[in-house]
Amino acid sequence: MAIAIMCSGGDAPGMNPAIKRFVDYAYLKGNIPYFIYNGLEGMIDDEIKQAYHKDVSGILHRGGAIIGSSRSKRFFEKKYRQKAYENLKKNDINSLIVLGGDGSFRAMDIFSKEFNINFIGIPATIDNDIAFNDYCIGVDTSLNVIRDATDKIRDTASTFKRGFVVEIMGRECGYLCATSAIACGAEICMIPEVNLDLNLAKIKLNKEIKNGRGYVLCLISEGVNKTDFMVDWMSENLGLETRKSVLGYIQRGGNPTITDRLMAFEFIVRAIDSLKIDDTNKVIVYKDGVFDKININNIVSKPYQIKQNILNMLNYID
């Protein structure tokens, strides 16, 4: 059986370990592995090649994805999906593994309904915003990058007695920001999922400043879109000289952690095994410590929700 793998959407640390395990395990199980380079765009443009062990030698420690990725407007036009399907058939490929997020799975949901393609999705996005799933490839590495950066910013904040507003990635999902705020001891956290009571924050933090607190650290999700507002608010309401730091794309790069490497291996094995038994058009998920498969229709129809125990640990929630 010929099986292809591709990455779609934003890159995430752990994609390369997944790609390596894909090639190794596919051959072990008697399959022929193919790479689709540059995501959906590469499928349309026939950037499809058979993969060999030499292609994945020495890539475990590398961030990003050696096969590239993309977002594709063309893929949402039927004529380009038809072209993509013809390219797969030309290579005798009818089984496909996609490393990506919600948008990638929506595209595959459409594609698999139109054509005879067996599809398995693997959550690979630092946003960690896939429904019915607790863990996406790349999340652990990203959290450690944020932790390292935030700890270093706190050093400067405490030295100069300043406020700092640190903007965290995640689009409309505040998981990275919330988890990092808890782990790094941020005094303020702002995410799209909850309301921040600024009056309560002002009263409590001013009391702490009066009693000797010299700095305040605010972690804010990019989806809130209030980074500059919070810089001004902290300066005016807490009396602290305040700076901002937008971590940006460093959160998507770096050497994948042990956890991301091992989880990538596990996701891939389950994906290939599912394709072997035609249990397809599903997404492999990891929920409450157990791997499972969820129908793609359910995945794309329900928004992700941060666990309540994480929200309960945040400061100043209505």
Residue 126 and residue 272 share a domain: yes
pLDDT of residue 193: 93
128 and 19 together in one domain: yes
Same-domain status, 81 and 127: yes
Give per-residue pLDDT as tens, 135-163. Answer: 999 999 999 999 999 999 999 999 999 99
pLDDT tens digits, residue range 278-314? Answer: 888 999 999 999 999 999 889 988 889 999 889 888 8
Residue 161 and residue 23 share a domain: no
What's the pLDDT at 318? 42
Q: Does pLDDT of 249 surpass 50?
A: yes
- Identify whether residues 154 and 103 lie together within a single domain: no
* Among 48-52, 86-90, 192-196, 236-240, the least confident range: 192-196
The total domain count for the chain is: 2
- pLDDT (tens digit, 9 = 90+) per residue, 12-71? 999 999 999 999 999 999 999 999 999 999 999 999 999 999 999 999 999 999 999 999
**Do 126 and 175 have their domain in common?**
no
Please tell me whether residues 129 and 261 are part of one structural domain.
Answer: yes
Give the domain CATH number at 247: 3.40.50.460
Same domain, yes or no: 31 and 63: yes
Give me the domain span that covers residue 13: 2-138+256-302
Annotated catalytic residue within 102, 127, 140, 260: 127
Question: Residue 232: is its pLDDT beyond 90?
Answer: yes
**Stretch 185-214: mean pLDDT, rounded?**
94
Mean pLDDT of the region 115-131:
95
222 plus 289 within the same structural domain: no
| pTM over the 0.75 mark | yes
Do both 129 and 90 map to the same domain?
yes
Least Cα distance to 47 among 4, 98, 94 occurs for 4
Q: What does the mean pLDDT of the chain come to?
A: 95
What is the model's pLDDT at position 317? 45
As a whole number, mean pLDDT of residues 87-95 equals 96
109 carries an active-site annotation:
no
Q: Is the pLDDT of residue 315 over 70?
A: no
Average pLDDT over residues 231-241: 97
- Beta strand 118-123 with 282-287: parallel, antiparallel or unpaired? parallel
Domain membership of residue 197 (yes or no) is yes
CA trace torsion 37, 42, 46, 49 (10° rounding): 10
Instruction: Give the residue-averaged pLDDT of 112-117.
Output: 92
**pLDDT score recorded for residue 219:** 97
Q: 218 and 86, same structural domain?
A: no
